[in-house]
Amino acid sequence: MSSPFSSPDKTSDAAMSRRNFLRGTAALGGLTALAASLSPLLELDDLTSTEKFLQKYYKEMTPDDMSKVIKRISNEVERQYGVRPHVRDLKPMDGVEFVYCLNLTRCIGCRKCVHACVNENNQSRNPEIQYIRVLKMPHGSMDVEKGNHTYDDKHVPDPGYFYMPIQCQQCHNPPCVKVCPVNATWQEKDGITVIDYDWCIGCRYCEAACPYWARRFNWTKPQIPKERLNPNMAYLGNRPRKQGVMEKCHFCIQRTRDGRYPACLEVCPVGARKFGNILDPNSEVSYILREKRVFIQLKEEMGTNPRFFYYFDK
Amino acid sequence: MITAARNYLVFLRRCARIAFVGDWRYYAWMGGLTIVILFGINAYAKQLVDGLIVTGMSDEVSWGVYIANFTFLVGVAAAAVMMVIPVYIYDNEELHDLVIFGELLAVAAILMCLSFVTVDLGRPDRFWHLIPGLGQLNFPRSMLSWDVIVLNGYLLLNVHICGYLLYCRYQDKKPSKWFYIPFVFIAIVWAISIHTVTAFLYVGLGGRPFWNASIVGPRFLASAFTAGPAIIILALQVIRSYTNYRITDKALLTLRGIVQVSMIINVFLLVCEIFKEFYSGTTHGVSAKYLFVGLHGHHALVPWIWTAIGFNLIAMVILVLPVSRSLKYLNVACALCIVGIWIEKGMGLVIPGFIPTPLGAFVEYLPSLNETLVCLGIWAFGLLCYTVFLRMAVPILQGRLAKANEGQPEIQGDEPASVAPVSPATH
């Protein structure tokens, strides 16, 4: 090995050209190695276009911007799924604040709500994303740590147990919104906490912050069979998501802001789920919260003040 | 003005050039690091294509070793301040000429931190959403937005301080106090803030009782001020043995004092935490139970945490005993501190915070191979940065790379001590 210390022949022409040659070879080799290491990127099929890259924040979009974005989303969905979707940017209605009430006496743990939700909201089927988790709870305890997440009974309900479906609690004081570094998630006037899927950077801080484990991340490209796609879509609701962003229950805004019930409620075979406008004294939810002696906000001590209430018949 | 700009460009060019020259050991080291970095880049490219599914993370454990390494390295960056304080507040002479090595380490550590958060993002293409003015930085509500600000601010502060002092030395000019002393003092407070803010990132989450404890902040600082100076002790010895830069044993022993006290505080705070989690017997201690003894048949983290505690205790004993005045033992203690605290921050803090989930499910986590390669790549990148910084800084500090010898043949390696000019003692 030549001495590292400066010596006269280092500056001679022969040594210089040899060094330049070595340097050139090293640089070429380095670049080849870099190119080789980057080669997986060739498989990136969903390259961000300039238009998508520069898309504005939801709250800063003009109606004109929004209609362009909706058109682009519709085209993308049509290209990918072969179905022309009906995408809308539904706004919260005046004088409406949504509340959900769930009757724990009635729920039988059939998980129909879980699957109705997946179908309605275009969740990825592979890997599977679900917004609702049903816990099989031993009689008498509200401690979620005692719950069984993966019960697989032939018949429900199993005697000695009750069932507690948990989804986004649409908190008045949502920890997930507070922690988001880019305001990609916020609470709307009607109480629904939404996500701008095109603004989320995928840091998953909200997922760590949620005390109800209500948020889900797209760990890879979501897959939905073409024939299962629900074409009735909302920008802040069930339009298909992209890899690397968060999603969660949004009280089916593509339905509820259009005067319909959430899918989980409609499918419930025992009528355990009630949904409505708490600002309307004649609504079912107003009646329940007025008349029931006990109702529960899950983990009340968190100070999140959920808009999701659990109640009992007897 | 034009001459000044020209001089500065020449300075930068000469610094860049010297990063590419050295003896065979230098090339072997840099070549090895580059290979590891390329493996990391390759793994990251796969992650960009397939998504974060290639990691061991899940909706249950949604942060893993990326964030764990990030947390550890914020501490390393913050620990540079433990050299600054003795020098600028207590006028310690021994450490005076070595502070810059600590500050350069801080710069390398912050670069690694920024890399680790970037690889953790699901949509790194949307990073600009974080830029105030262009995007929507949720400041001051989100602690992550604080972290973005304090980390980048700390990077700028240290780049300015190191860059300014080195450029002055290069020009053989006495640095103007107004140009760096205020920044040094800002950086002291700032260093504390980066690690406090990073701790608050966890502490602020009410839904995670394991993190939602006020002791996390103090523990972060204590462990950072243990592991950081321990790394500096080892780094300084490497610098001493590969260059002829004068570093006294006394300086190393001053740092030993810092590591010693910090480790004692760190272990004390650990005891406080264990007592609180276990004695009261509330259900809030469930993550701690899982971490230390395992729960419901899940105990993936138990060997990790006891290794960490074992290492930390052995290190503490060595550090307290007079034997650690011998560098051999001190180095062992430092290595144990670094590994112990690295585990404590990652497998001991970030991961158990997620287990069980807020709904009581136990899902365990183990980093995947791809994830590990990305981590190794970033570590290699950090080491490469630090090596390059030292490669530039040492000859400048020694006066071998100076404006005075501009135009002369560039130095090729480190001259033996006998021919090296004596470094002029400025600043």
- Contact criterion met (CB < 8 Å) for A204 and B207: no
Q: Rounded to a whole number, what is the distance in angstroms from the first to the last CA of chain B?
A: 25
Closest of B373, B48, B176, B12 to residue A202, by C-alpha: B48
Coil/strand/helix, residue A48: coil
- The separation between CA B111 and the C-alpha centre of its own chain, rounded to angstroms, equals 9
In this structure, the number of other CB atoms found within 10 A of the CB of residue A246 comes to 26
Q: Whats the size of chain B, residue-wise? A: 427
C-beta neighbour count of A186 within 10 angstroms: 18
CA angle A148, A150, A151 (to 5 degrees): 75
List the single residue in B51, B63, B354 with the smallest CB-CB distance to A220. Answer: B51
- Burial of A223 (C-beta count, 10 Å sphere; 0-12/13-18/19+): exposed
For residue A161, the domain's CATH number is 3.30.70.20
In chain A, what residues touch B60 (CB-CB under 8 Å)? 213
Which residues between 34 and 93 in chain A have a beta carbon less than 8 angstroms from any beta carbon of chain B? 34, 36-41, 43-44, 48, 53, 57
Three-state SS string over B52-96 comes to HHHCCCCCCCCCCHHHHHHHHHHHHHHHCHHHHHHHHCCCCCCCH
Whether the Cβ atoms of residue B347 and residue B61 lie closer than 8 Å to each other: no
Q: Do A219 and B51 touch (CB under 8 A)?
A: yes
The pLDDT tens digits of the residues spanning B19-31 come to: 988 889 999 999 9
Rounded Cα distance between B398 and A282, Å, is 83
Instruction: Tally helices (H) and strands (E) across chain A.
Output: 9, 12
Q: Distance between CA atoms of B4 and B269, rounded to whole angstroms?
A: 52
Place of tokens 């109702």: A295
Closest-approach residue (CA) in chain B for A183: B138
Please name the helix (run of DSSP H) or strand (run of DSSP E) that holds residue A233, with its range, or none: strand A232-234
A30 min Cα distance to partner chain B (Å): 9
Residues 256-315 of B with CB under 8 A from A: 283, 286
Q: Is B256 exposed, middle or buried (0-12, 13-18, 19+ CB in 10 A)?
A: buried
Burial (CB < 10 A; 0-12, 13-18, 19+), residue B124, is: middle
Q: Which one is the CATH code of B18-256+368-405: 1.10.357, 1.10.1060, 1.20.1630, 1.10.10?
A: 1.20.1630
Residue from the list B122, B357, B416 with its beta carbon closest to the beta carbon of A245: B122
Please tell me the predicted confidence (pLDDT) of residue A309.
97
Q: Which A positions 100-119 lie with beta carbon below 8 A of chain B?
A: none
Contact status, residue A199 vs residue A184, Cβ threshold 8 Å: yes
The residues, ordered by sequence, that sit 6+ positions from A204 with a Cβ below 8 Å of its Cβ are: A217, A246, B62, B63, B120, B122
A20 touching B (Cβ < 8 Å): no
Contacts of A102 (CB under 8 A, 6+ apart): A165, A272, A273, A274, A308, A309, A310, A311
Q: What span, in angstroms and rounded, lies between the C-alpha atoms of A289 and A299?
A: 18
In this prediction, residue B287 carries a pLDDT of 94
Which residues touch B324 (CB under 8 Å, ≥6 apart)? B256, B260, B318, B330, B333
Contact state of B122 with A217 under an 8 Å Cβ cutoff:
yes
The residue assigned the tokens 């490669």 is B391
pLDDT at B164: 94
Distance CA A247, CA A51 (A): 22
Tokens of A250: 């949004």
**H or E segment at B39?**
helix B24-50
Work out whether the CA dihedral A149, A150, A153, A154 comes out positive or negative. positive
Q: Is B130 on the interface with A (CB under 8 A)?
A: yes
- Tokens 């949502």 found at: A174
Measure the CA angle with vertex A277, ends A275 and A279; round to 5°. 150
Nearest to B312 by CA among B263, B345, B260: B263
Q: Which residue in this structure is represented by tokens 């010898």? A: B405
CB contact under 8 A, B206 and A243: no
Instruction: Tell how far CA A293 is from the center of its chain.
Output: 34
**Are B52 and A38 a contacting pair at CB < 8 A?**
no
CA pair distance B139, B239, nearest whole angstrom: 41
Tokens 């974080």 -> residue: B130
Q: What's the pLDDT score for residue A11?
A: 55
> pLDDT by residue (tens digit) across B225-257?
999 999 999 999 999 999 889 899 999 999 999
From residue A251, alpha-carbon distances to A81, A90, A121, A212, A260 in Å are 24, 13, 10, 15, 11
Domain range annotation of chain B = 18-256+368-405
CB contact under 8 A, A220 and B52: yes
A75 Cβ neighbours under 8 A, 6+ residues apart: none
Chain B residues whose CB is inside 8 A of the A48 CB are: 125
For residues A305 and A300, give the distance between their C-alpha atoms in angstroms, rounded to a whole number.
7
| Residue B298: strand, helix, or coil | strand
pLDDT in tens, chain A (314 residues): 344 444 444 456 777 788 788 888 888 888 898 988 888 888 887 667 888 888 999 999 999 999 999 999 999 999 999 999 999 999 999 999 999 999 999 999 999 999 999 999 999 999 999 999 999 999 988 889 899 999 999 999 999 999 999 999 999 999 999 999 999 999 999 999 999 999 999 999 999 999 999 999 999 999 999 999 999 999 999 999 999 999 999 999 999 999 999 999 999 999 999 999 999 999 999 999 999 988 899 999 999 999 999 999 86
Q: How does strand A308-311 pair with strand A98-103? A: parallel
- List pLDDT tens digits, range A157-176: 999 999 999 999 999 999 99
The three-state secondary structure class of A246 is: strand
Structural domain count of chain A: 1
Q: Is B179 on the interface with A (CB under 8 A)?
A: no
pLDDT < 50: residue spans in chain B? 415-422, 424-427
Cβ(B22)–Cβ(B391) below 8 Å: yes
Spatial separation of the C-alpha atoms in residues A51 and A314, rounded to whole Å: 57
Q: Which chain B residues contact residue A11 at CB under 8 A?
A: 409
Token digits of residue A198: 């095109």
Inform me whether the C-beta atom of residue A127 falls under 8 Å from chain B C-beta atoms: yes
ipTM over 0.95: no
Residue B164 burial (CB count, 10 A) = 15
What distance lies between CA B14 and its chain's CA centroid? 27
φ, ψ for residue B111, nearest 5 deg: -60, -40
- The whole-number pLDDT of residue B409 equals 66
Residue B426 forms contact with A (CB below 8 Å): no
- The shares of helix, strand and coil residues in chain A, as percent rounded to the nearest 5, are 35, 15, 50
For A121, the domain range is 98-311
Residue B321 pLDDT: 95
Cα A136 from chain centre: 24
CB pairs A-B closer than 8 Å: 196
Which chain A residues are closer than 8 Å to B124 by Cβ?
Answer: 201
Of all residues in chain A, the one with the smallest CA distance to B416 is: A5
- Confirm or reject contact between B152 and chain A (CB < 8 A): no
Within-domain flag for A228: yes
Return the axis-axis angle of helices B216-242 and B65-79, rounded to nearest 10°.
70
Question: What is the distance in angstroms between the Cα of A145 and the nearest Cα belonging to chain B?
Answer: 4
